[in-house]
Amino acid sequence: MSYKQDRKNNFPEWPIYDHNEINALSGVIKSRNWWGGFPGDQKGENVWRFQEEFARFQEAKHSIAVCNGTVAIESVLMALNVGMGDEVIVSDYTFVASASAVIATNAVPIFCDIDPDTLVMDINKIESLITERTKAIIPVHLGGNPVELDRLLEIANKNDLYIIEDCSHAHGSRYKGKRMGNWGIAGTFSFQASKIITSGEGGAIICNSEDLADKIYSYIDCGRRKNGSSYAHYSYGTNYRLGEFNAALLRKQLEKFPEQHKIRNEHAQYLGKKLNEIDGIQVMKLTRGTEECGYYIYPIVFDPSQFGEITKTAFKKKLNKNGIPTVDNYPPLHKLDCFKNIKLKKGIDYSKANWGLEKSINNNFPVVSDIYSRSIEFPHETLLASKIKLDSIVEYIKSLK
């Protein structure tokens, strides 16, 4: 398969689409069913079909489509009755949404430092963060790299905690035989514009419990029940539904995904082998037991002393100037203004959190602070480039020594 190349730098452009996406969208327009419809009639077939297709792809029993990945996390927490006074352990190295969704439920996120090799939450640090208020853990599979879910499950089971996997980077990732999102009680996904399956905005939740799926569905559709009548509202709920246009696009993107996923996995291995041979470059190590990786991002960590004490900003600038695209890394959550000043939500006591004011210093999160200062990320579409283009990245990085 050949992908349309960015005219400026010759790397593939994202998102990738063809006449199938265009026809799918015009099909929705002509159908006059522009939303999924009431649960009883399910008039707009794309939303309902996408849910089935995505569940099948992720090897889960249930999938609920929502309007983004942030509310996907909130919806699971709400369905599990996690809220006021509860604590939820979240990786410190993720997009703000993994924690802001916790804030939305009036619970308090507690940040966990990361492993320096895999860049995902350090399982060895979890137990020290558990208190009598802890209700759940949100592992984030950064760049599609699975958190060691078997070990995390042991800890969660011992302490009676829920695991909600944030799989926003991990569509298609597989660890020890299971697709991500099936290890915990639920998995949440984002289909925002940069994601590896996208419709501009969108999200989904997968789970294997019918009871939980029903509760989540009710929450995201105004307290309705699947197969219930239109104006029967059984429980408190809101409207986080996905629309037909997004679902129609997602169905086409999902068809394209397996081939892209295969190339990304092959090329990541190819590129990783060559980059790791350069002194001072370490590619994100896949967690032992990973069988497939979503590769939403492809992070590398560099040793400044091997590159004339170059800063991350200068390193990135040089790559970009030479036509090699990068994306900005997430600043660790403890560094974000909203978590430093702790004035987040009226009436909520954040004083027991392990962040805020003087607690938000880098020394309290040493690994992520160090990694953030010397890592660079390539977007997933880079991995769809030809091997010759990938070689050019390796050669250019070598030339910076």
Closer residue to ligand PLP (CB): 327 or 344: 327
Q: What is the DSSP letter of 14?
A: S
Q: Of the listed pieces 8-16, 56-64, 163-171, 334-342, which binds ligand PLP according to CB under 6 A?
A: 163-171
Q: If residue 73 lies in a helix (H) or strand (E), which one and from where to where?
A: helix 69-79
Closer residue to ligand PLP (CB): 90 or 286: 90
With beta carbons less than 8 A apart as the criterion, state whether 144 and 170 touch: yes
Q: Check the CA dihedral 220-226-232-233 and report its sign.
A: negative
Q: Of the listed pieces 66-74, 111-119, 179-187, 256-264, which binds ligand PLP according to CB under 6 A?
A: 66-74
Closer residue to ligand PLP (CB): 33 or 182: 182
Does position 70 interact with ligand PLP (CB under 6 A)? The reply is: yes
Does position 253 interact with ligand PLP (CB under 6 A)? The reply is: no
Strands 290-292 and 174-175: antiparallel
- Please report where in the chains the tokens 């600038």 appear, as a residue: 317
- The minimum distance between CB 246 and ligand PLP, in angstroms, equals 11
Closer residue to ligand PLP (CB): 169 or 171: 169
Burial of 83 (0-12, 13-18, 19+ CB in 10 A): middle
- The minimum distance between CB 54 and ligand PLP, in angstroms, equals 14
Among 192, 260, 290, 360, binds ligand PLP (CB under 6 A): 192
- The minimum distance between CB 185 and ligand PLP, in angstroms, equals 17
- The minimum distance between CB 315 and ligand PLP, in angstroms, equals 23
Burial of 341 (0-12, 13-18, 19+ CB in 10 A): exposed
Task: Sketch the per residue contact string, 16 through 55, with ligand PLP: x for CB under 6 A, - otherwise.
Answer: ----------------------------------------
Interface positions, 71-130, toward ligand PLP (CB under 6 A)? 94-95, 97-98
Closer residue to ligand PLP (CB): 298 or 307: 298
Among 36, 39, 44, 69, binds ligand PLP (CB under 6 A): 69
Closer residue to ligand PLP (CB): 278 or 368: 368
Does position 290 interact with ligand PLP (CB under 6 A)? The reply is: no
- Please report where in the chains the tokens 């925002």 appear, as a residue: 192
Paired strand residues for 188 = 166, 205
Return the residue nearest ligand PLP (CB atom).
Answer: 69
Closer residue to ligand PLP (CB): 68 or 329: 68
- The minimum distance between CB 349 and ligand PLP, in angstroms, equals 25
| Residue of 115, 166, 135, 131 whose CA lies nearest to 287 | 115
Closer residue to ligand PLP (CB): 203 or 379: 203
d(CA 153, CA 133): 18
Measured at the alpha carbon of residue 144, what is the angle toward residues 279 and 244, in degrees to the nearest 5? Answer: 145
Residue count, binding to ligand PLP (CB under 6 A): 14
Among 58, 63, 75, 168, binds ligand PLP (CB under 6 A): 168
d(CA 324, CA 142): 21
Q: Residues with Cβ < 8 Å from 183, sequence gap 6 or more?
A: 149, 150, 152, 153, 163, 165, 175
Q: How far apart are the first and last CA of the chain?
A: 34
Torsion of CA 26, 29, 31, 35, to 10 degrees: 120
Q: Check the CA dihedral 292-145-317-278 and report its sign.
A: negative
Among 99, 103, 140, 222, binds ligand PLP (CB under 6 A): 140
Spell out the long-range contacts of 153-157 with Cβ–Cβ below 8 A and sequence spacing 24 or more: 153/183, 153/184, 155/123, 155/126, 155/127, 155/130, 156/184
- The minimum distance between CB 176 and ligand PLP, in angstroms, equals 21
Interface positions, 263-282, toward ligand PLP (CB under 6 A)? none
For ligand PLP, the binding residues (CB under 6 A) are: 68-70, 94-95, 97-98, 140, 166, 168-169, 190, 192, 203
